[in-house]
Chain A
């Protein structure tokens, strides 16, 4: 089992843990962390699986750099929304959705 493959497997575990976190956790800050865990998992799979023969491949590395920037942008927007929600309601969990 190569190093690249171990990275990919770790990535798969992180991704699954992240999705479980987003589904199960109500606290918004932790949910954002769970989303980041999920993203990192996908990045690890992308780089690790492509390098399972343990030879460096620059293409997935560049893709992951792009992906990280996108994840940073999404995280920043999520944090801004959570702060706004906290400022408006004092809550760090999503209120129930009502049609009234």
Chain B
């Protein structure tokens, strides 16, 4: 049995890997660098009070800029892959589901706005807010109140790209401060909120798009 021996081989290699990795992890002493101190020390200049948000949007904001590019890129690649197909007709769900959907969506919008605002000082932020908004759109689609997307028109394309474009423009504009994404401490809070608001809208559209573009009936 060739297949059987392959399974045994792969599983034993995987187990050996875990064994050696676990042992090597146990040997570790304390790390030479501890970033918690500098993260805390510069928190006052970062424009936010939550350390994870400070890392995400200020200290390592460049990672986040590229991460949004990856997400926009994935949507773009999906558009290129699925090509043009008519959107599937919406199938109206049970009226009770529709009524519940209508009820839930405004609450989800409120939660999203709260998450966006809370991100500055506790867990939350643009991505979480965008995800809740996208979930609202998916919910509307599933109960038959929102059609799937066929191909994005100009307005929608603008909305999908706006958050990233705004982030990019702010990053480039801050070059006048000395380097990419170098927020002046006084304006950091406002700028981060501006970026996060833009991102919330675009991330919601992109995440909803990942679902709504794929929700079309498979081509025959």
Residues of chain A whose beta carbon lies under 8 Å from any beta carbon of chain B: 5, 8-9, 12-13, 16-17, 19-20, 23-24, 49-50, 52-53, 55-59, 61-63, 65-66, 69-70, 72-74, 76-77, 79-81, 83-84, 86-88
User: Closest approach, in angstroms, between the C-beta of B200 and any C-beta of chain A?
Assistant: 14
Total CB contacts across the A-B interface at under 8 A: 105
Select which of A62, A65, A69 is within 8 A of B70 by beta carbon: A69
CA distance A8 to B26 in the complex (A): 10
User: Closest approach, in angstroms, between the C-beta of B154 and any C-beta of chain A?
Assistant: 23
Select which of A24, A53, A56, A66 is within 8 A of B30 by beta carbon: A53
CA distance A12 to B54 in the complex (A): 28
Contact B18 A83 (CB under 8 A): no
| 17 A-B pairs in the complex with CB atoms less than 8 angstroms apart | A5-B26, A12-B18, A17-B14, A19-B14, A24-B10, A55-B36, A59-B39, A59-B59, A59-B60, A62-B55, A62-B60, A63-B63, A65-B127, A69-B70, A70-B67, A73-B73, A81-B81
User: Closest approach, in angstroms, between the C-beta of B7 and any C-beta of chain A?
Assistant: 6
Per-residue contact bits, chain B 66-84, to A (CB 8 Å; 1 contact, 0 not):
0100110111011001100
Which residue of the partner chain B has the closest CB to A49? B25
Once A17-B14, A65-B127, A79-B214 are accepted as A-B contacts, the answer to whether A73 and B25 lie under 8 Å apart by CB is: no
The SS class assigned to the B binding surface is: helix
Q: Which residues of A contact B35 (CB under 8 A)?
A: 57, 59
- The reply to whether the CB of B210 lies closer than 8 angstroms to some CB of chain A is yes
Contact A58 B70 (CB under 8 A): no
CA distance A63 to B70 in the complex (A): 15
Contact A66 B67 (CB under 8 A): yes
- The reply to whether the CB of B11 lies closer than 8 angstroms to some CB of chain A is yes
Which residue of the partner chain B has the closest CB to A76? B210
User: Closest approach, in angstroms, between the C-beta of B78 and any C-beta of chain A?
Assistant: 4
User: Closest approach, in angstroms, between the C-beta of A5 and any C-beta of chain B?
Assistant: 7
Contact B39 A77 (CB under 8 A): no
Chain B residues touching A, range = 35 or more
Q: Which residues of A contact B64 (CB under 8 A)?
A: 66
Q: Which residues of A contact B39 (CB under 8 A)?
A: 58-59
Once A77-B74, A87-B219 are accepted as A-B contacts, the answer to whether A69 and B127 lie under 8 Å apart by CB is: yes
Contact A83 B214 (CB under 8 A): yes
- The reply to whether the CB of B103 lies closer than 8 angstroms to some CB of chain A is no
CA distance A9 to B19 in the complex (A): 9
Contact B73 A57 (CB under 8 A): no
Once A24-B6, A58-B55, A62-B55 are accepted as A-B contacts, the answer to whether A12 and B63 lie under 8 Å apart by CB is: no
CA distance A72 to B75 in the complex (A): 11
Select which of A16, A50, A86 is within 8 A of B15 by beta carbon: A16
User: Closest approach, in angstroms, between the C-beta of A48 and any C-beta of chain B?
Assistant: 9
